[in-house]
Amino acid sequence: MNGADSLDWNGVLHNRPSRMPDRFFKYWILVPAVFLLLLIGLFPLIYSLLVSFQQITMTDYDTSFVGFVNYAALFEDLRLWQSILHTLIITAIALPVELLLGLAMAQLFLEKIPGRQIFISLIVLPTVISPIVAGATWRLLFDQSYGPVNQIIGWFTGTNVVLLWTITPKLVYPAIIICEIWQWTPFMFLILLAALSNVDKSLTEAAELDGAGFWRTFFKIVLPAIWPVMAIAILIRGVDLVRTFDVIWALTSGGPGTMTETISIYTYVQGFRQFESSYTAAIAFLIVALMTMIVTWAIRRMGLAQ
């Protein structure tokens, strides 16, 4: 009796034609899950694409198709390109600093020091805080009336200092970047600590015996060993920084003016403050296109695809 045979109520064997060959069955059972994933993942994407060609705003009933009008408007929208520039500035500064600090700290904690586990747990704490809470906390820390930052600076300078961290153009970027670094350096630290812990000690010891100094050992042995993990960490944080919203929203709301408005903040303002649904969809697709290009380039450049 094979899979295509069956017994009737009287126990008589019948030869039943197979409705699906066994080799396709495994694919059929995947169909519901794939369908669900497509529904959740692909439908919003396609719907957003559709919306980006319409003229939908939440306060107007006109939903007519306008072709590429929204995409054409992107190129004339100076505020959009400025927001992209602001995003890149923050990413270009915060990412290397977080990487270097995280690496330095990881190197430090490779050594067996007393209370190592407790210190690691404490260092990682900022990462588990919600970014909006971190931003609000730093806003308080930077406050002129109640915040300790200016007080501490005042102790060093011996005078009352007035530094409006969230208002003065020269200080807003440092404020944002300090907050970002404070919160996300521990993420880099944790990943790089794991990577460094897995470097084959016999190789570094052999290099030392051969007379190689710390930097030579680091660049020739340690860095190549941890590079795949480090590249992933850079990629994750890079993408995170491009998406950054909460911290800046809590600290400056994108101000003064639009000086610290990032692409995420601008998209939020367009979508949920100004209710320009179709234009926001077009911005979203611009971001998807830009991010896809950057990430693909980065993956190739970092050799992660090999």
Binding site for another protein (CB under 8 A): 58-61, 143-146, 160, 162, 164, 166-169, 253, 255-259, 269, 272-275
Pick the closer one to another protein by CB: 23 or 273.
273
- Nearest approach in angstroms of CB 57 to another protein is 8
Pick the closer one to another protein by CB: 157 or 296.
157
AA letter at 42: L
How many Cα atoms sit within 13 Å of 300 on the Cβ side?
A: 5
- Nearest approach in angstroms of CB 50 to another protein is 16
Closest to 280 measured CA to CA, from 62, 56, 72, 87: 56
- Nearest approach in angstroms of CB 143 to another protein is 6
- Nearest approach in angstroms of CB 168 to another protein is 7
- Contact at 8 Å (CB) between 134 and 247? yes
Q: Sort 89 into a burial class: Cβ within 10 Å, 0-12 / 13-18 / 19+.
A: middle
- Nearest approach in angstroms of CB 242 to another protein is 23
Tokens at residue 25, please? Answer: 């069955």
Pick the closer one to another protein by CB: 93 or 167.
167
Tokens at residue 129, please? Answer: 């805080």
- Contact at 8 Å (CB) between 177 and 97? yes
Query: Given the structure tokens 């009737």, which residue do they identify?
Result: 8
CA 94, CA 196: separation in Å to the nearest integer?
22
Pick the closer one to another protein by CB: 157 or 253.
253
- Degrees to nearest 5, angle at CA 101 with 95 and 107: 130
Pick the closer one to another protein by CB: 120 or 167.
167
Pick the closer one to another protein by CB: 73 or 299.
73
- Nearest approach in angstroms of CB 276 to another protein is 9
